[in-house]
């Protein structure tokens, strides 16, 4: 299909309107995002939108009007309640979509067979001109390919829909930048289904009580039906892993944990503080800039090889709720806490790390055990199993899709190169699990953590720590301990000892150091002294 590139001129609007009247589809700017429009009353035309976007047919479209009079003239609704009137008066034209009982003229293709219809009166002059010239309500979802962020520039539409739409009208950047607020009046009290440019606070001023659907901020629980069909679809997932970071220490924390494949989305005032690729999203309190820039930034990042992206966790009120709603999905609901105090704990085997850790635990610290997390990941993270089997052979997986750890070990520890590959695959997953466990326990009230990791330095885990404590002990003491603890022979213990680093390997890199060369009580005393110092 040839795609006409049109401008925002009366002649081009007429061309676009003719395409619509003949059952074609046109990408058009609105104040929120670009829409892919067809005659909402023409089922065949509307079907083309679904094909062009690759959108599931059971996800209904929004019907766009250019004046209130159209609502009745085209028999769009069955009932326009007082609440609908109040919303229309206050927020239309503008970025608000209202769900109403559906009128007879709306074909099933537009409403996906529902008894309700979503209606919006946009404020963008180009959208209004097109609706007026076509003289029919326009069904228009966002003009992106399904699975991509909504388009906020004509170039985004060109990237997604060239050869798939009849025309694209270039009307510059969309001002709001995120899709409209969606509220349903088909329930009482009204329910907010999607946050956007019109805020919950503004809606409450007009409607009194409204309910914010749980799916706006939280993962849709399995088995629960979505209040809006759009909620159940897996949303846009960026190529990179995105993490939302909460807490005051955003800049130092991200600077510490970022590696060379990372980028950061940040406030304008912080953009020069990072030694990594930074995407400024606007001044910290310029919330409109955040919605305006968000999707373009996500699209830019998708065009790079960046593997990890950190973004400040937006507040859950005002227009920021819309940014939170889009970003938390892009982040697959991963939030991490920049303000947690994390003390790395490392050292050679048998030095007394476990005893030290249990002493911290007695003082209310939460112990994050990297070895335990690694075992859990092997058990249940299908992403890591997929990557491992691609490198070490499909037969490292058992019949039921689990991991044959012995087989993996025999291959992964066969030579240095294989071990390097194993670590390259597993470490990012382990540290993701570390960050998520810290967040989970922060939510439960913990603020101090031990990251217990024997290979903390080798794995680059130091960057996840506020400070690192090394526990070492004389070789003879350590040998005695592991012979006793693991019930092994002197020879086996010596063999293990040979694989250990020297003490200086740990002490040179660590910030704090305890030599466990006397008895247990002395170690416990040393730990207690340290805890008082840290506090």
Q: Which residues bind ligand TXA (CB under 6 A)?
A: 30, 32-33, 35, 59-62, 97, 99, 111, 114, 116-118, 120, 140-142, 179-180, 182, 193, 228-230
For Mg ion, the closer CB: 96 or 473: 96
Helices (H) and strands (E) in the chain, counts: 21, 21
The DSSP element (H or E) to which 506 belongs, if any, is helix 503-509
Q: How far apart are CA 184 and CA 194, in angstroms?
A: 10
Say which entry of ligand TXA, Mg ion, none residue 199 contacts (CB below 5 to 8 A, set by partner kind). Answer: none
Q: Smallest distance, Å, CB 182 to ligand TXA?
A: 5
Categorise residue 332: left if φ over 0, alpha if ψ from -120 to 50, beta otherwise.
left
Give which of Mg ion, ligand TXA, none residue 61 binds (C-beta under 5 to 8 Å, depending on kind).
ligand TXA
382: left (phi over 0), alpha (psi -120 to 50) or beta: alpha
Minimum separation from the CB atom of position 63 to ligand TXA (A): 9
CB of 232 to ligand TXA, least distance (A): 9
Structure tokens given for 461: 């885990």
Hey, how many other C-beta atoms are within 10 angstroms of the C-beta on 363? 13
* Identity of the residue, 140 or 530, whose beta carbon is nearer to ligand TXA in the bound complex: 140
Q: Shortest Cβ distance from residue 135 to Mg ion (Å)?
A: 25
Secondary structure element (H or E) that encloses residue 280, with its range: strand 277-280
Piece in contact with Mg ion (CB under 5 A), picked from 140-148, 288-296, 438-446, 465-473: 140-148
Site string for Mg ion, 97-136 (x = CB under 5 A): ----------------------------------------
Residue 143 CB, shortest distance to ligand TXA, in Å, is 7
The smaller minimum CB distance to ligand TXA, of residues 180 and 459, is found at 180
Which strand (E) or helix (H) includes residue 440?
helix 416-443
Give the x-and-dash track for 56-95 against Mg ion (CB under 5 A): ----------------------------------------
Residue 229 or 460 with smaller CB distance to Mg ion = 229
How many Å apart are CA 400 and CA 414, to the nearest integer? 26
Q: Does 142 bind Mg ion (CB under 5 A)?
A: yes
For Mg ion, the closer of residues 142 and 337 by Cβ is 142
Complex with ligand TXA: residue 120 or 366, whichever CB lies closer: 120
Out of Mg ion, ligand TXA, none, which partner does residue 120 contact, by CB within 5 to 8 A per kind?
A: ligand TXA
Site for Mg ion in 163-192 (CB under 5 A): none
- Which structure tokens are listed for 438? 């810290």
Give the whole-angstrom CA distance, residue 526 versus residue 513.
10
From the list Mg ion, ligand TXA, none, partner contacted by residue 62 (C-beta under 5 to 8 A by kind): ligand TXA
Check if the beta carbon of residue 40 is closer than 8 Å to that of residue 137.
yes
- CA dist 119 and 64 (Å) reads 6
Check residue 53 and report its DSSP letter: H
Which residues share a beta bridge with 152? none
| Among candidate residues 219, 300, 222, 309, the one with its CA nearest the CA of residue 259 | 309
CB of 99 to ligand TXA, least distance (A): 5
Measured over the CA atoms of residue 422, residue 356, residue 349 and residue 380, the dihedral's sign is negative
In the list ligand TXA, Mg ion, none, the entry touching 114 (Cβ below 5 to 8 angstroms by class) is: ligand TXA
Name the phi and psi angles at 10, rounded to 5.
Answer: -55, -40
- Nearest to Mg ion of 220, 367 (CB atom): 220
Q: Which positions touch Mg ion (CB under 5 A)? A: 141-142
């Amino acid at each position: 299909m040839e795609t006409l590139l049109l401008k925002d001129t009366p002649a081009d609007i007429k061309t676009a309107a003719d395409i619509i009247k003949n059952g074609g589809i046109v990408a058009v700017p609105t104040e929120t995002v670009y829409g892919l429009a067809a005659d909402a009353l023409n089922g065949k035309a509307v079907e083309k939108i679904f094909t062009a976007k690759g959108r599931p047919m059971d996800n209904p479209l929004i019907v766009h009007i250019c004046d209130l009079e159209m609502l009745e003239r085209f028999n769009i609704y069955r009932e326009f309640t007082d609440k609908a009137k109040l919303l229309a008066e206050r927020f239309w034209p503008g970025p608000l979509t209202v769900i109403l009982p559906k009128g007879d003229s709306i074909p099933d293709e537009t409403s996906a067979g529902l008894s309700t219809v979503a209606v919006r009166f946009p404020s963008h002059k180009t959208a209004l001109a097109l609706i007026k010239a076509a003289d029919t309500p326009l069904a228009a979802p966002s003009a992106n390919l399904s699975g991509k962020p909504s388009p906020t520039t004509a170039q985004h539409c060109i990237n997604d829909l060239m050869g798939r739409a009849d025309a694209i009208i270039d009307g510059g950047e969309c001002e709001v930048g995120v899709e409209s607020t969606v509220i349903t009046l088909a329930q009482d009290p009204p329910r907010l289904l999607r946050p956007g440019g019109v805020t919950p606070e503004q809606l409450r001023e007009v409607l009194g009580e409204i309910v914010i659907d749980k799916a706006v901020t939280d993962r849709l629980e399995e088995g629960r039906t979505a209040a809006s069909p759009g909620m159940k679809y897996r949303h846009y997932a960026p190529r990179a892993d995105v993490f939302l970071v909460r807490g005051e220490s955003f800049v130092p924390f991200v600077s510490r944990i970022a590696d060379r494949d990372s980028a950061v989305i940040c406030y304008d005032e912080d953009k020069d503080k990072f030694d990594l690729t930074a995407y400024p999203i606007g001044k910290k309190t310029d919330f409109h800039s955040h919605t305006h820039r968000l999707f373009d930034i996500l699209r830019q990042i998708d065009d790079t090889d960046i593997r990890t992206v950190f973004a400040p966790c937006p507040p859950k009120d005002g227009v920021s709720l819309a940014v939170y709603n889009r970003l938390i999905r892009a982040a697959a609901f991963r939030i991490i806490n920049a303000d947690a105090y994390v003390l790395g704990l490392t050292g050679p085997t048998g030095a007394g790390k476990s005893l030290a850790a249990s002493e911290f635990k007695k003082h209310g610290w939460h112990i994050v055990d990297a070895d335990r997390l690694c075992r859990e990941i092997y058990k249940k993270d299908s992403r890591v199993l997929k990557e491992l089997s691609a490198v070490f052979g499909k037969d490292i997986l058992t019949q039921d899709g689990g991991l044959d750890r012995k087989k993996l070990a025999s291959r992964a520890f066969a030579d240095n190169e294989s071990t390097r590959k194993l670590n390259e695959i597993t470490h990012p997953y382990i540290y993701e699990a570390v960050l998520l466990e810290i967040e989970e326990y922060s939510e439960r009230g913990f603020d101090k953590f031990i990251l217990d990791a024997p290979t903390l330095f080798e794995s680059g885990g130091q960057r996840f720590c506020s400070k690192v404590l090394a526990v070492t002990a004389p070789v003879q003491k350590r040998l005695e301990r592991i012979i006793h603890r693991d019930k092994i022979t002197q020879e086996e213990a010596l063999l293990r000892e040979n694989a250990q680093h020297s003490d200086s390997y740990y002490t040179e890199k660590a910030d704090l150091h305890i030599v466990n060369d006397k008895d247990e009580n002395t170690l416990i005393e040393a730990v207690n002294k340290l805890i008082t110092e840290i506090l």
